[in-house]
Structure 1
Amino acid sequence: MNDTIEDHAPETHSDWPLRPWALAALLGLAGLGIHLIGEWGSDSWVPWRAALSAAVAFGALAFAFTLDRDRWKQPLAFAAIVALVMAGIAWRVASAGDHHADEPFWLAAGVVAIALALPLFQAGFHRLRWRTPYRQTHFHVWADAISAGGAVAFTGLSWLLLILLSTLFSAIEIDLLKDLVNEGWFGWTFSGAAFGAALGVLRNQLKIIGTLQSVVMLVFSIIAVPLAIALAIFIVAVLASGISVLWNATESPTPLLLSVAVASFILVNAVVRNGDAEASENRILRWAALVLALAILPLALLAAISTGTRISEYGLSPERLWGIVAVAVAVAYGLAYFVAPIRGGLTGWMERVRSANMHLAVGTCAIAFILALPLFDFGAISARNQVARLEAGKVAVDKFDFDALRWDFGDAGREVLEALASDDNAEIARLAAKARARDKRVYRPQRDHNRDQRLANLRFGFDAPDLREDVTDLVRVAVWHCNKPCVALDLGEDDDGRRRIALVENGNVQWEVLPAEGAPEPAHMIENPQPEQNADSQVEIREWSGRRIYIDGKPAGTPFE
């Protein structure tokens, strides 16, 4: 390696003996603040508490990663911006309640934007713009990852040691450490301080981090060879067998394909490194990296086809819209990496890849930040798409997922469901009204190829038309019922006025309870009573008479009366 670590480190960086202590104090106080502000254990947070907790956590971490002895004003400004952005996102997430359906993705988008902005800021992108040296940006990406990983490992080891010591002292009836470990404020403070101390030590040792980078990238570059061979075989097999073989092998090929694309991206950069002087000279590794670079685009396109197929079959949902964003980013990287050897040739393609990395990182950071803002309502977009599919006849009324509008698309979905409950089509209005009335989510699989057969297997032991309709709706969404010939029996009402139904299938009996308005609740078995028993309890055999289910004259299931 011809370059030294100083070639990549910022000019203002210097070893700072007090850094571990300063970062331990900073993150220790941040941990204590998060404990005092947060509502841990609560299902929902007050927005201002969520915002302040996010500001303290992310702002302190951003400051810890960028702070230097002689350079604190710009890092403080950057940390303040990070705190403000994440506070706003956390406020929005905490305020969302059930009004929106994709709030976890807002937070994830914010974290992605901050994670990409951090090495760009450390490399001076805010001052140099596109003149920012790639080697510095690439160095900081790996340095931050190694520093964070090392600090997390040290924090875990510190906790193991603390628990060991607390147990040791507890053995001689000194419970101070044991009591402290059980205190929430201490756990947050100790974790923050341990993480900060380890981070400070690692940030003081950039030369060691640079060596670790070289070792990690060397190991990754070796892994690139078998992955390149495997991907080449995979792509040839898909082309020869047809893309349908992939759909038949897994229900969710998109995450798998994107994961392999990300792995290929990492391994390519492990070979490419900071510059031509550092790139591996091994021809096998270079060819493996080239194969992986070319494979990212086919993988991304297969993921795009998979996502498009799923959307064509089931329509849009907030999760699928976020999936479209992820696939679009993957396709952009894949296209850039595919074009690099074409434009740069076998000698200059690595430099093209480095240039693409810088531009795509900035673009991805901007996209993630924009998507974290309240500019798009993916729930409303999805709800409109689903209703359009229903109105266009692309999905049958009895196969339309009205429950998704009730639970998965936020207020926009419920507004659409409300409108459908007044639709001129009586069947649409009935099913929409039933979904609107439910107070529990009835989950159905995206692929239920046996539903028509399950409904055909269903027989009724009663004549009430409304009850038959309710049971049919139940079996339609409950894939565990009527996979073989089954019979529905009316067991009458319980003490709360809810209808009890027995579904008898293959000799087994399952009880369903329908609320008074007819909307199905999750299935549950009627359990045998279990009275308390003590040493003086009288246990005896008594005569009993009641009702139970019989199949061909033989008892089945538990007596229900």
Structure 2
Amino acid sequence: MVSQGLLADWPLRPWILAATGGIAGLGVYELLDGFTAEPWRAALAALLFFGAVATGFVLRPQNLIETAGFALGVGVVMGGIAYLAVNAGDSRAGEEFAFAAGVFFSILAIPLFQAGFHRKRLATPYAETHFHVWTDAVSAGGAFLFMGLSWMLLWLLHGLFSLIGIEIIEELIETGWFSAIFAGATFGAALGVLRNQLGIIGTLQRVVMLVFSLLAVPFGLAIMIFLVILLFSGGGALWEATDSATPVLLTCAVGCFILSNAVVRDDDEHRSGSAVMQAAALVLAVCILPLTVFAAISMGIRIDQYGLAPERIWALIAIAISTAYGLAYWVGLALGRLGAWSDYIRRANLHLAVVTCGIALILALPLLDFGAISARDQIARLESGEVSAEDFDYAALRWDFGEAGRDALEELVASPDQQIAELAQDAQIMESRPYGRRTQADRREIAEALDYGDLGETARAAVAAYVRDEIFQCAEGCRAVSLGQTDGGELIALLSDAEYERPKLLLVGPDSEKAVPQFVRDGRLMGDVAIEEGPGGAGGQVELRPFEGQQLYVDGKPASEPFK
């Protein structure tokens, strides 16, 4: 069981954590206010934030130096990960996943430290780890709730004092530094109070697990019905839904893990005595493996169709970890049978938590470049003919795979295959990540199908480059009409056949490779056009009329703000 030292009341704890939270909140605000992607700012902000959070959960008067050192260590690790992520910028793919892996490492490391894993290693009692996982979750939820209530009270006080003409509270709320201090201090104070009541929180977490265990019965029945129908249907419906199948299946596997452990709890003495709930926990434990296997098959189909991408590699890692849990549970069920299977599951939880914590830390560090791995796989698919030049996703190399992807795209631009080179160059000159799943060949085809009228070669090429980026504008057809020369170059109206698309004004400079969309500000053209509700259509008659300058008309009706 948990030592009495951890359950002892420490009167200074709420005050220390309130001060820590307030200082950390102010520091994070000052470092990230007007954040300009400076790595050292991100590192210090992460150090303060995660160090303060870890302090809130582990700090205690016993072994004060050791607990403070651990909290500082968590802050330093997360600060380093934040520095690497921001410093990498877009040169590495999936840095947000790497940072998330660091957060996951911290979430697992805190209860392991609280249970004394750094001393006891694999001899750490599962009951202690289980106790800290759940009490940490309940404490964090309670602290967030208190912080929200504190904000509500502050707004209520503002409303009260505003009745007598005092607006100082609203002025403070609207001040960023005060909000940061208030949020950090209230969260820290609440966490300190709750951590002083771990004995009560431990009882409350049993109530929470009881509520969760009630959900185990209907959820286990639903999962079992789903798997039976899926198996008898041959999995056809699942394979047709590969876009959403993997995250849904993995989420269900996590649900099975949480609810089965809510019934199993930390020992047989506290395990639910209901035969129905025990049966539900058994079903949920059994279902984790098939759910992860189906998730793996679904992801395999998607990779076979589209090749590797950084997010798919991260998904494979999540599937592998989930499958490890599923296999461990099956082994526990086989060894323990109906009598002692829950004891094997508890042991597996501890061992796998340690392994997962280590894997998360490794993945958070820039040891593997998933963008480079994905780029090599995509190029190999193109060179082998597994994907045609028309269907190849050149935009993914440009935007999704980091510097390695852009280097690979540069090589494709120099390819002796003229079609590949042209499509790669189209993606290379894109200024923003295109939406949708149109291939580069589709974009080129839509751009070539435009009615360019009497536009010159330079204007035609520049408008085509714009349309390849803004594909939705002309997906149903477009017409480009020259409106004459301006100081900045040739002004062109782009009219779409789609009813939901309004006319666009484009400006093509003398040396423009891509048309620039325009908008009206203070009566002058500056960027994307601001057009009121009005007529559209590629077949309408286009003209410019004087109106405190000029204005775009379609079929004799105004279709834009006036401009000069």
When the two structures are superposed, what TM-score results if normalisation uses the length of structure 1? 0.86
Superposition deviation, residue 462 in structure 1: 4.7
Mapped contact 2:24–2:52 kept (Cα < 8 A) = yes
Mapped contact 1:123–1:136 kept (Cα < 8 A) = yes
2:29 maps to which of 28, 35, 38: 35
| Match in the other structure for 1:124 | 116
1:230 maps to which of 222, 234, 247: 222
| Match in the other structure for 2:256 | 264
1:157 maps to which of 149, 153, 163: 149
- Alignment CA distance shift 1:118-1:246 (3 Å): same
Counterpart mapping for 1:80-229 below 5 A? 80-229=72-221
User: What are the superposed Cα offsets for residues 155-188 of structure 1, whole Å, 9 maximum, x if unpaired?
Assistant: 1101110111122112212233222222222211
**More divergent stretch after superposition (435-444 vs 390-399):** 435-444
How many Å separate the matches in 2 of 1:290 and 1:25? 46
Whether 1:19 aligns to 2:10 is no
- Alignment CA distance shift 1:269-1:402 (3 Å): same
Mapped contact 1:444–1:478 kept (Cα < 8 A) = no
Superposition deviation, residue 153 in structure 1: 0.5
How many Å separate the matches in 1 of 2:294 and 2:133? 28
Superposition deviation, residue 71 in structure 1: 2.5
Q: Which amino acid aligns with 1:32?
A: L
How many Å separate the matches in 2 of 1:318 and 1:196? 37
| Match in the other structure for 1:346 | 338
How many Å separate the matches in 2 of 1:39 and 1:398? 44
Whether 1:67 aligns to 2:59 is yes
1:310 maps to which of 295, 302, 305: 302
**More divergent stretch after superposition (159-168 vs 469-478):** 469-478
Mapped contact 2:392–2:439 kept (Cα < 8 A) = no
How many Å separate the matches in 1 of 2:148 and 2:51? 22
| Match in the other structure for 1:253 | 245
Counterpart mapping for 1:319-398 below 5 A? 319-398=311-390
Q: Equivalent residue of 2:407, what SS?
A: helix
Q: Which amino acid aligns with 1:377?
A: D
- Alignment CA distance shift 1:363-1:189 (3 Å): same
How many Å separate the matches in 1 of 2:50 and 2:209? 28
How many Å separate the matches in 2 of 1:304 and 1:465? 50
**More divergent stretch after superposition (233-242 vs 156-165):** 233-242
How many Å separate the matches in 2 of 1:23 and 1:339? 43
Superposition deviation, residue 274 in structure 1: 0.3
Whether 1:282 aligns to 2:282 is no
How many Å separate the matches in 2 of 1:323 and 1:494? 52
How many Å separate the matches in 2 of 1:183 and 1:367? 41
How many Å separate the matches in 2 of 1:93 and 1:433? 29
| Match in the other structure for 1:433 | 425
Identity of aligned residues (%): 47
**More divergent stretch after superposition (24-33 vs 466-475):** 466-475
Q: Which amino acid aligns with 1:19?
A: R
How many Å separate the matches in 1 of 2:68 and 2:147? 25
2:406 maps to which of 406, 414, 431: 414
- Alignment CA distance shift 1:428-1:271 (3 Å): same
Mapped contact 2:139–2:194 kept (Cα < 8 A) = yes
| Match in the other structure for 1:535 | none
Q: Equivalent residue of 1:110, what SS?
A: helix
Superposition deviation, residue 504 in structure 1: 4.5
User: What are the superposed Cα offsets for residues 505-533 of structure 1, whole Å, 9 maximum, x if unpaired?
Assistant: 36777548586655577899855589xxx
**More divergent stretch after superposition (110-119 vs 188-197):** 188-197
| Match in the other structure for 1:534 | none
When the two structures are superposed, what TM-score results if normalisation uses the length of structure 2? 0.86
Mapped contact 2:462–2:512 kept (Cα < 8 A) = no
Q: Which amino acid aligns with 2:264?
A: V
How many Å separate the matches in 1 of 2:15 and 2:332? 46
Mapped contact 2:50–2:75 kept (Cα < 8 A) = yes
How many Å separate the matches in 2 of 1:206 and 1:143? 7
How many Å separate the matches in 2 of 1:90 and 1:412? 21
Mapped contact 1:169–1:175 kept (Cα < 8 A) = yes
| Match in the other structure for 2:397 | 405
Q: Equivalent residue of 2:179, what SS?
A: helix
1:299 maps to which of 278, 281, 291: 291
Mapped contact 1:549–1:559 kept (Cα < 8 A) = no
How many Å separate the matches in 1 of 2:188 and 2:45? 18
Superposition deviation, residue 113 in structure 1: 0.3
How many Å separate the matches in 2 of 1:32 and 1:383? 42
Superposition deviation, residue 491 in structure 1: 3.8
Structure 1 residue runs of 5 or longer lacking an equivalent are: 1-6, 531-540
Q: Which amino acid aligns with 1:352?
A: Y
Q: CA RMSD in A?
A: 3.4
Q: Equivalent residue of 1:300, what SS?
A: helix
| Match in the other structure for 2:538 | none
| Match in the other structure for 1:55 | 47
How many Å separate the matches in 1 of 2:450 and 2:176? 57
Superposition deviation, residue 397 in structure 1: 1.2
Mapped contact 2:18–2:187 kept (Cα < 8 A) = yes
- Alignment CA distance shift 1:136-1:260 (3 Å): same
| Match in the other structure for 2:542 | none
Mapped contact 2:101–2:360 kept (Cα < 8 A) = yes
User: What are the superposed Cα offsets for residues 467-522 of structure 1, whole Å, 9 maximum, x if unpaired?
Assistant: 888878877776646766x4644546764446846454367775485866555778
How many Å separate the matches in 1 of 2:77 and 2:63? 22
Superposition deviation, residue 273 in structure 1: 0.1
Q: Which amino acid aligns with 1:365?
A: C
- Alignment CA distance shift 1:34-1:160 (3 Å): same
- Alignment CA distance shift 1:399-1:499 (3 Å): farther
How many Å separate the matches in 2 of 1:400 and 1:41? 39
Q: Which amino acid aligns with 1:17?
A: P
Mapped contact 1:228–1:288 kept (Cα < 8 A) = yes
Superposition deviation, residue 272 in structure 1: 0.5
Q: Which amino acid aligns with 1:434?
A: D
Query: How many residues are treated as equivalent by the alignment?
Result: 536
Q: Equivalent residue of 2:272, what SS?
A: coil
Q: Equivalent residue of 1:399, what SS?
A: coil
Superposition deviation, residue 125 in structure 1: 0.3
Counterpart mapping for 1:478-493 below 5 A? 480=472, 486=477, 488-491=479-482
Structure 2 residue runs of 5 or longer lacking an equivalent are: 520-527, 534-545
Q: Which amino acid aligns with 1:72?
A: L
How many Å separate the matches in 2 of 1:312 and 1:456? 30
Mapped contact 1:509–1:557 kept (Cα < 8 A) = no
Superposition deviation, residue 248 in structure 1: 3.5
